[in-house]
């Protein structure tokens, strides 16, 4: 059997971490078995579809390296890969279900169905539709329609027996047919529901393994009923544990970034992303933010290989010790048999640890390459990057070390790339270290030493400051903070001697002069 898996997102929002995990497991299983991974767009619900939401889904999957063999923008032998363009196939399936006695026209109103539900509740018995308004003949249909009623098409579900499902993740699962409702498969306006379209598409696209989230397990009986009524072979099912909020069994929400997603201005997004990234690194009791949209991580500058590595471990493991995998290693080792049944907790702080691990193993040149677009978008570098900016970037990246964990962290060191006459100051720090006390006077005298210093490198700079402190008979803090605020605009940052060396003598003196001039 040729392995064919699929990921079928609805274009109703942005690419969600939970959905990516499902796509990744399908992709890994297909790649390991030398099969095909198909991307299908489940857009049957036209009222909920968001046209502009499809492209971010495609872009996000490509960014993560989850490529598809057939689907949108690529085509394939079973095109089209959009449910909205396959309505004739669904209508044909409805007609076959009706002709075979596996479905029926139902003319019950919403109020009548509700009355039956309430009666069942009052009698403390499970609700099961009486089929009172089932139309078995053309005459029945004509009579109901003369009353102004409209029909939906319902499945004529069995009321006895058990469905046994051998799930590759959950093992043997049994469903009592008596608990199944006569589910609607076609609305009164003629449009078909997801469950019918899903079964037809899986058959038409020759899907061998349906690997999907646990939430779809309850949908399986009606789908198995449909496919068997249509004479389709049953695919192999594997229902993955849902992705939960950190430290809980609550399903991960995708509504926590709506405010962020409404503003796609790059500068605003980066500023917002930096605040969130800082909250991830330094959580407080009040911090309950959990970014779950892939677009966020791409905007901040995460590595796709770090995200893929972490998501692969949400519900799957090779053993009890191995955590870090390359893409090739995941393909080699992945198996559905090692997928856990329990919910998998998504923790952005744990993801940050994976990001840090992967990022620190990049070459300095690669880090610079990844960080450059952030400076360019912020207006702090030209495109292409100039040789001087690249030189500064290399030195900043080297001096920052593991303080740069994601590519966007380069913006935390924006002061190195701002024009000297446009450097922004933390006014509180400026007041404390340059306007109050004798900080400015000390800075003025230390400036003269810098002007004559050779060589202008970290060891020489450190020695010069130590000599200055001894000569002035002051504490180191009385001068070091004044210099830092003068040349960076803030009171924290890279090591001061590295900072001065990276800026160089000319820029350091220019910034000191500007600071002294605004006392």
Looking at the annotation, which residues are catalytic?
254
Output the CA torsion 245→303→266→391 (10° steps): 150
Phi, psi of 175 (to 5 degrees): -130, 130
Cβ-contact 148, 107 below 8 angstroms: no
What number of residues does the chain have? 519
Preceding peptide of 499 cis, ω within 30°: no
Query: Which residues share a beta bridge with 243?
Result: 344
Cβ-contact 458, 497 below 8 angstroms: yes
Q: At what angle do helices 304-312 and 348-359 cross, to 10 degrees?
A: 130
Q: Name the residue among 258, 264, 501, 281 with its Cα closest to residue 412.
A: 281
Query: Which residues share a beta bridge with 70?
Result: 38
Q: How far apart are CA 278 and CA 281, in angstroms?
A: 5
Q: How far apart are CA 70 and CA 54, in angstroms?
A: 16
Q: Count Cβ neighbours within 10 Å for each residue of 12-37 and write b for 16 or more, e otherwise.
A: bbbbbbbbbbbbbbbbbbbbbbebbb
Cβ-contact 346, 252 below 8 angstroms: yes
Residue with tokens 């180191």: 476
Helices (runs of H) and strands (runs of E) counted in the chain:
20, 12
Cβ-contact 340, 312 below 8 angstroms: no
Residue with tokens 């593991």: 402
Q: How far apart are CA 413 and CA 488, in angstroms?
A: 9
């Amino acid at each position: 059997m040729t392995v064919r898996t699929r990921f079928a997102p609805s274009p109703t929002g942005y690419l969600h971490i939970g959905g990516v995990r499902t796509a990744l497991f399908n992709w890994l299983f297909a790649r390991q078995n030398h099969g095909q991974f198909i991307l299908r767009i489940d857009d049957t619900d036209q009222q909920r579809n968001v046209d502009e939401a499809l492209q971010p889904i495609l872009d996000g999957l490509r960014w993560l390296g989850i490529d598809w063999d057939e689907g949108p923008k690529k085509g394939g032998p079973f095109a089209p890969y959009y449910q909205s363009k396959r309505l004739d196939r669904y209508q044909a399936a409805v007609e076959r279900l009706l002709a075979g006695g596996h479905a029926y026209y139902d003319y019950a109103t919403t109020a009548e169905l509700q009355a039956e539900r309430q009666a069942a509740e009052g009698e403390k018995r499970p609700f099961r539709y009486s089929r009172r308004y089932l139309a078995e003949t053309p005459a029945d249909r004509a009579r109901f329609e003369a009353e102004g009623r409209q029909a939906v098409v319902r499945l004529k579900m069995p009321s006895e027996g058990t469905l046994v499902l051998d799930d590759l993740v959950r093992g043997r699962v049994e469903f009592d047919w008596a608990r199944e409702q006569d589910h609607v498969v076609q609305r009164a306006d003629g449009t078909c529901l997801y469950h019918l379209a899903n079964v037809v598409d899986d058959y038409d696209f020759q899907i061998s393994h349906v690997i999907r989230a646990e939430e779809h397990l309850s949908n399986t009986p009606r789908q198995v009923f449909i496919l068997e009524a249509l004479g389709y072979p049953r695919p192999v099912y594997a229902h993955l544990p849902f992705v939960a909020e950190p430290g809980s069994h609550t399903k991960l929400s995708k509504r926590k970034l709506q405010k962020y997603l409404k503003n796609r201005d790059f500068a605003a997004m980066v500023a917002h992303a930096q605040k969130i990234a800082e909250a991830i690194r330094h959580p407080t009791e009040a911090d309950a933010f959990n970014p779950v949209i892939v677009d966020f991580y791409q905007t901040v500058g995460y590595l796709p290989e770090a995200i893929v590595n972490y998501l692969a471990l949400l519900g799957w493991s090779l053993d009890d010790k191995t955590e870090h995998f390359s893409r090739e290693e995941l393909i080699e080792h992945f198996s559905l048999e090692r997928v856990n049944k329990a919910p998998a907790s998504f923790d952005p702080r744990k993801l940050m640890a994976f990001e840090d691990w992967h990022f620190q193993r990049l070459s300095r040149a690669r880090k610079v390459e990844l960080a450059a677009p952030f400076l360019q978008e912020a207006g702090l570098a030209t495109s292409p990057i100039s040789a001087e900016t690249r030189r500064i970037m290399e030195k900043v990246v080297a001096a920052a070390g593991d303080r740069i964990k994601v590519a966007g962290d380069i913006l935390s060191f924006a002061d190195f790339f701002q024009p000297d006459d446009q450097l922004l100051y933390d006014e509180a720090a400026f007041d404390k270290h340059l306007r109050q006390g004798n900080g400015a006077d000390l800075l003025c005298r230390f400036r003269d030493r810098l002007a004559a210093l050779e060589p202008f490198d970290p060891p020489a700079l450190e020695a010069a400051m130590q000599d200055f402190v001894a000569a002035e008979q002051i504490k180191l803090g009385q001068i070091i903070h004044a210099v830092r605020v003068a040349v960076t605009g803030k009171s924290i940052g890279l090591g001061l001697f590295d900072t001065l060396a990276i800026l160089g003598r000319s820029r350091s003196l220019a910034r000191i002069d500007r600071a002294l001039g605004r006392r």
